[in-house]
Amino acid sequence: MSPAELLVIDDLSVTYALPRGRRLMAVANVSFTVYRGETLGLVGESGCGKSTISRAIMQLPPPTGGSVIFEGRNLAKLDTATLRRARKRLHMIFQDPISSLNPRRKVGDIVAEPLAIAGIGGTEDRRRRVRAVLETVGLDPDQIMDRRPHEFSGGQCQRIAIARALVTEPQLVICDEPVSALDVSVRAQILNCLEDMKTRYGLTLLFISHDLAVVKNISDRVAVMYLGRLCELAPSARLYAAPLHPYTAALMAAIPVMDPDWSPSPSHLLAGELPSPMNPPSGCRFRTRCPRAAPLCAARAPEWQEAEAGHFVACHFPLVASDTISPARQS
């Protein structure tokens, strides 16, 4: 493992046992690497397993297969005490800022909690650190430390959650849909705040979202998931300019464009619904909705291959450049 690799996910699988002996494979054989200092975006629709991956990285619960190697150590193999110490170096920000803050605790205590758990500093030192981090996320410590979360708006709560994630100065922050619950105007504030914090603290981000425009804005590289598997991973500019996987192309075509002259053409709508993860299609999981599906797709799952330098795809019939210039605009 090279020093540039901060987090290596190798062959990660998460299976849930359901009643009556059924099993649900929420994440199947996913591998990717997050390099120091980058932002890796993870996109996919609901139920694709992207949040399950974030939980598996945090070992809440640990994955059922594969490994999560953070700073050279396999988190699943660590004993409870060592894992607890490692946790101050990776943190998480959640989708619903209001649910992620305890309504009965004061903001000052909420933000100081990671320090208290890690046993860092005394009361005074903690207070000083909390004030500093609140200031950097754009909140006035004097006004908010002694108040409770319900007195604040969603955007302010998300800033408090960011402050809490940063107070132990972690290496990696996993952002699980951090702006999905926020209004458009507040969303931009929080995305800017995350970018600023990344620079200031030298963070590495794993940014999970269903919103392709948001992911493109914040990520250096983007991975696309469908029904528990990775479809494609590439530098973001490259992925958005020339997607190789038909699913990525379909996702992009479905984004409404803020242009009155653009009228969506029904021919590019992705047909059908997400299949049940309990009973996923054989071979390529996207084949039931894929316009390019062939018998081979049902017979064999496509390999995860590097089509170009740094551009990975899992598809038997990847799109070529001429197909993908602008799948949304042709009609």
Partner 1 sequence: MTDAGPALLEVNNLTTHFHTPRGPLRAVDGVSFSLRRGQTLGIVGESGSGKSALARTIIGILSKRRTTTTGRIAFEGRDLLTLSEPDMRDIRGRDIAMVFQDPTSSLNPVKRIGVQITEVLARHLGLRGCAARSRATELLTSVGLSLPEERLHQYPHQLSGGMRQRVAIAIALACDPKLLIADEPTTSLDVTIQAQILDLLHRRQKAHDMAMILISHDLGVVAGYTDAVAVMYAGQVVEQASTRSLFRNCRMPYTAALMRSAPNLSDPPHTRLRAIAGRPPDMVLPPPGCRFGPRCDHATDICRNERPTLSASDAVGAHLYACWHPVASPGASA
Partner 2 sequence: MSAFADDPGHETASAMAAPSPMQVRDRLGFRFWLPAVWIAIVVALATTANLLPLPSPIETDFAALSNWPDRTHWFGTDQLGRDILSRAIFGARISLTVGLLAPALGLGIGMLLGMAAGYFRGRVEAVIAAAMDAVMAFPGILVVLAVTAYVGASVPLLVIVLGVLTVPTFMRVARANTLVFAQHDFVLAARAMGATHWRVLSLEILPNVVIPMLIYALLVISRIIVVEGVLSFLGLSLPAPWPTWGNMIADGQVDLATLPYIPFIPAALMFLTVLSINLIGERLRARTDLRGSAL
Q: Which residue from 9, 110, 165, 218 is in contact with partner 1, where contact means CB under 8 A? A: 218
191 binds partner 1 (CB under 8 A): yes
Told to check if 18 binds partner 1 by CB under 8 A, we report: no
153 part of the interface to partner 1, by CB under 8 A: yes
Subset of 158-197 contacting partner 2 (CB under 8 A): 161, 164, 188-189, 192-193, 196-197
169 binds, among partner 2, partner 1, none (CB under 5 to 8 A by kind): none
Residue 309: contacted member of partner 1, partner 2, none (CB under 5 to 8 Å, by partner type): none
Give yes or no for residue 200 binding partner 2 (CB under 8 A).
Answer: yes
Rounded to a whole number of angstroms, the CA Rg of the chain reads 21
Contact 287, 297 (CB under 8 A): yes
Q: Which two tokens stand for residue 215?
A: 């992911």
Nearest to 51, CA basis, from 277, 170, 209, 275: 209
236 binds, among partner 2, partner 1, none (CB under 5 to 8 A by kind): partner 1
Number of residues binding to partner 2, judged by CB under 8 A = 47
Burial label for 35, CB within 10 Å (0-12, 13-18, 19+), is: middle
Instruction: Find the binding residues for partner 1 in span 239-298 (CB under 8 A).
Output: 240, 250-264, 266, 269-271, 273-274
Tokens of 51: 């949040």
Name residues whose C-beta falls within 8 Å of residue 214's C-beta, 6 or more positions apart in sequence: 179, 187, 191
> Which residues lie across from 65 on neighbouring strands?
13
* Complete edge-to-edge strand list for the sheet that includes strand 5-17: 23-35, 5-17, 65-70, 73-74
- By CB under 8 A, is residue 220 in contact with partner 1? yes
Binding residues for partner 2 (CB under 8 A): 55, 58, 60, 83-85, 87-88, 91-92, 94-96, 98-105, 113-114, 117-118, 135-138, 140, 143-144, 150-153, 155-156, 161, 164, 188-189, 192-193, 196-197, 200
